[in-house]
Homo-oligomer: A and B are copies of this chain.
């Protein structure tokens, strides 16, 4: 059962206050086989892609840039962007950014690239 029901809304930005490490997404809600996650990021992530799924970014706080091999997109608080599946991308934040991610359960944060930034999955907050 959805742990949100009954009768408790969640505030993604407030939830992110409880995260004390960067690049470590935490699950705050589920919708069918999708998860809503919050994450704090700063600096450069790794280039990666997700072969099987799109990935939605929603900026809660700060300014996010997502680099692509052929361009970039800049996001302000309240902006949404969906990275298409299979497209290489690299999030970048000059200063700390709080994000909400929406994606299927089980998606690895570093996609096809394992490394020190690969985070454990399915950690709730």
Contact B6 A80 (CB under 8 A): no
Distance A72 CA – B32 CA, assembled complex (angstroms): 21
Number of interface residues of A (CB under 8 A): 45
Task: Pick out which of these stretches binds chain B: A9-17, A41-49, A110-118.
Answer: A9-17
Distance A31 CA – B53 CA, assembled complex (angstroms): 8
Smallest CB separation, A76 vs chain B (Å) = 7
Contact A70 B6 (CB under 8 A): yes
Distance A6 CA – B8 CA, assembled complex (angstroms): 37
Distance A10 CA – B80 CA, assembled complex (angstroms): 5
A5 is an interface residue with CB less than 8 A from chain B:
yes
Contact B54 A32 (CB under 8 A): yes
Contact B84 A2 (CB under 8 A): yes
- Contacts of A84 on B, CB cut-off 8 Å? 1-2, 5
A122 is an interface residue with CB less than 8 A from chain B:
no
The residue on B at minimum CB distance from A8 is B73
A: residues with CB less than 8 A from B are: 1-2, 4-13, 28-32, 34, 36, 53-56, 60, 68, 70-76, 78-85, 87, 100, 102-104
